[in-house]
Structures are given as structure tokens and as C-alpha cells.
Structure 1
Amino acid sequence: MIRIKTIFEFLWKGLIITGLTLVSLMLAGALLTNLGMKFPEVKSDYRYIVLIMLLSGFLISIILGFIAKNLRLTKIRVFMVLFLILILNYITQILEALYFAPGIVTLEVVPAIFGQQSMMALFITGGIAFLYSKSQINSGESIKSRCSFDWLRKILICSGSYVIFYYIFGSINARLFTGEYYLSQMNGLRLPSTEEIIVLETIRAIILVLSIIPLILNLQLTKKKIMITVGIMLFIIGGLIPMLQQFDTLPTVLRVTSTVEMFFQFFLTGVVTAYVFLDEAV
């Protein structure tokens, strides 16, 4: 009975968040267009875009809803933690698109993209914090309890792990499957130089790690569950949803192999980051 009640709760709340996702998408698009901002050219069918945005909103609602229920924070702080996750992940996605898909995302359209994503993040995380959070007192670890050097060291370790995972799984994928597509610049894609990739992914890694530290320190779950939850959340928001949004514009081999690649990159980074920040011995 409890499981059925929980499933029903996530279902109806997920539908509300899905609706907020679509509403915020349309409102932001209309507002920013009226302000004269330029969006990327849309090559996908609008019905497909709506479907994917609905699916994306529902997926985000499920994973962030579960997280919100297990954060022992006030509603406003739950909102802040969740908003930080979404907005920083959106920034990393824009950065990657600028280098790997310059035929689609240019500096000219970045303000419109970021503005739209910011409004969506406000609606989504605000809705999730209101619907799922129980406004409980924080019993997690205080950020002030660590010295600056310890924080810096752990951030660098975790960021370095993402760069390593990116290099290992990205290199395998590029050599076996995706390299030729980027080299041919199909659908606006581009393969940056090794130096560009190292700098770009290092910056993205630091941003990704910073986005999940408050979450890790305030989740009231076992260490193992926190590691798994953070890993899955990073993959869904940073890998799966962005791939779904361009699913109909990429070749099948690129969709499948890139999704697998991103699973290992994001999931393992989440696991490592949670382990490092929760283990006093590290």
C-alpha cells in the first residue's frame, strides 16, 4: 500500500512539474523573442520538441523529487540546492555545445538559451521544492566545518576524476564510433583540438562538482545510496536529457554510443564525488 501511494504521489506531482516545464519553456521563449534575442535554428519537428520537453520534465521531477524528499532543509534551501544543480549543469552543456556543435550553438544565441533555461530551472525547482520538500531542519555537515585547503583538494580530485573518465570513455567512443561524424562536421558538429578539449572539460568538471557538493552534504541517506543517487542524477540531467533533446537529429550509432559514454562519465563522477566528500579519510 505504501509503495502504491508513493508511486501515485510521484506520478501526479511529476505531471504538475511536467506542465511547469512546458509553460516555462513557452513563456521564456515568447518573452526573450519579444526582447529581440535570437534562438538557434530549430530543425526538429515541434511536436517532437514538446514531447521531449514533457519527458524531460517528468524525468527531472522523479529524480529531483526523490532528492527533495530526502533533504533535511527548509523549502527555500531545497530550492537553492536544486536550482544550483540545474543551472550549473545547463552552463556546462552550453559550454560543450559552443565547442562541439558550433554550427548549432553560437555566442549570438547563448543569451537566449541561458535565459530560457534559467526560467525553466526556476519553475521546475520551485515546483519540486514546494511539492516534495517537508521543510525539515538541516542535520547535515556544515560547509564551514572544513578548511579551505581541504575543500580545494577534494574539488580538484573529483574534477580530475571527471576529466579522466571523459578521456577514457570519450577516446574509446571516438575511435570506434563517433570520431568520423565530428570530423565530417555533420549536423554542425566539430571535433575540437586536444588542447581545447582538456581546457574545456576541466572547466566543465569543476562546475559539475561544485553543483553537487551542497546536495551531497545534506542528503539524509546512507553513503552508498547517496553515491548511487548523485551518480544517476548527474547522468539524467547532464547526459540523458541533453541526448534526448537531439535524438532525432543524430545518427543511431551516435545516439546509442554517446549515451553509454555519458553514463559512465557522469555516473562515475557522481559516485567518486560523493565518496570523496563523505569519507573523512580522503
Structure 2
Amino acid sequence: MMTENKRITHLYKLIITLLAFLTLYTGAVSAAERCLHYDKPVSLSGIVEIRVFFGPPNFGEDPETDSRNIQGILFLDKPICTVEEEFNDAEKEQIEVTLIPTGSLDLADFAGRHVTVNGSLSHAHSGHHNTALLLELAGTPKPDAKPNMPEPSKSERKLILDAIRPAAASEAGQAVLIKVDRLNVSHDWGVLIGKLVAADGGDLNWKLAKDCDADLDKMLWVVLNKSSKQWNVKQMDICSPEPPYWYLEDKDLTMPCEVYAGLNNGQKDLEERCRIHSNKPR
């Protein structure tokens, strides 16, 4: 027969085992509760990217004849997971979601912007989808409120564009106009983000441009410096497929911190990183 001490020891071990099982079960339930459900309203935040993928008939096997499929992708602030449901698989650590707009919404208007979107999730189910998760939008993306941008005066802006245009036209192999999405200027340094269009406002013939892939996204990225009252282009990419500032490290943030206002690499605000790195006062 079991002695009293053995009974107590046995009961103690049983309690410990039950508590451990309960802890594991509670943790699993808690993790599942944090995952998102399909076909239910969700709100997500991230940076909008516009990407071009090969489409029918061969989805990239024959680039000369395959169509192009332009999609808006949301690069999320943090990974998400989903709960398995009928016709929709569970997913873990997803950092990208394909945005499905409604009506005449043009996601290109939000390219490079940090936004918050509302909608319902579904799982990819065809070769047209290039991410595991899709988000059918309910309304228009809401961009972050623009901070107080260090924007130049109209006359200074003209001088900057006049400095960029000849160099951009040379790279593009044709006359160009500059569509400005963002222009930050501080202490004789400036950053311009935008895109190039033809002189008539239409699309450029990218086959004439130097080192540009006609099938990829094309962002205009320019770094300028003012010397002796003259703006000079220090760095320029007329057809960057991704925002170059995404890859800037702390050691690269050498310009006045105000120049990085509104730029975000998906994890941190570059202006804030610059101030921390350089210990410059606000």
C-alpha cells in the first residue's frame, strides 16, 4: 500500500503535470487568438509597394509574350498569422499581403507611403496571386499624416528641378518631366522622391533609358547639395525598382536629419534614427 508521504508526493507530481499542461494549452490558445481570421474585418499597417509580375499565358516562362500583372503589395509593420478555416490554410510569419482594391482606386497613388488599411483576408488560390495572403480593401488606404516637411520655397523648388531635369533626361535618353512625391530640403541638402514622365505627360519609352528594366517599378530618387547658390545632383536613380532609402543603415544617415523626414524603411523612421545616431537636438 502507498504510504502517506508517497501519496503526497504522487499528488504533488500530478498537480505539477496538470499545471504544465494547462500553461501549454493556455499559451497555444493565446497564440491562436492573436492570429487573424479570414473573412472578418481587420486593420493592417505598412508600406505600399507596386510590383509588376508576369501573367498569362505562361507566367514568366516566355517573357516576350507573357502579359504583365501590376499588383499592390502591403509590406507589413510586423508579421501576422492566420487561423485555418474552410478553403483557407493557416499561415505564420507573413510580412506581405496583396491588396485587392475596389472600384477605380489606384494603389499607385500610395506607392512608398506608410498607410493603414481595412478589409478582410483570404488565402491565395491561383497563379495570379504572388503572396500567401490577400486583403480585399474596404475603402481607401489612410496614409500617415505628413509631418512638418522641410519643403523649399517655390523659387528654390524650381532651381532644384532645373538642376535635376537635364541629368534625368540624359539618363532617360529623352525629354522628361518630373512628378514630385516628396521634396525635403534642409541646410543645403535635399532629397527628391518621385517619378519621370514624358514631356507630354505620358509614359516614357523606357527602352531608351540607361540600365532600366522596362518590366520593373521605377522610382526617381535624387540626393542634392547646394554650393555657391547652385544645386548639384550628388546621387540619382531614375528607375529604382524599390525605394533606396529602405536599405540605409545608421552609418549612412549623414545628411541633416530633417532631410529624412517622412521616410520609413518599414521598421523605423529614418529621421528619428538619424537623430539618435548623431545625438542632434530636435
How high is the TM-score relative to the length of structure 1?
Answer: 0.24
Higher gyration radius (CA): 2
Larger helix proportion of the pair: 1
Structure with more contact order per residue of length (Cα contacts < 8 Å, sep ≥ 6): 1
Larger strand proportion of the pair: 2
How high is the TM-score relative to the length of structure 2?
Answer: 0.24
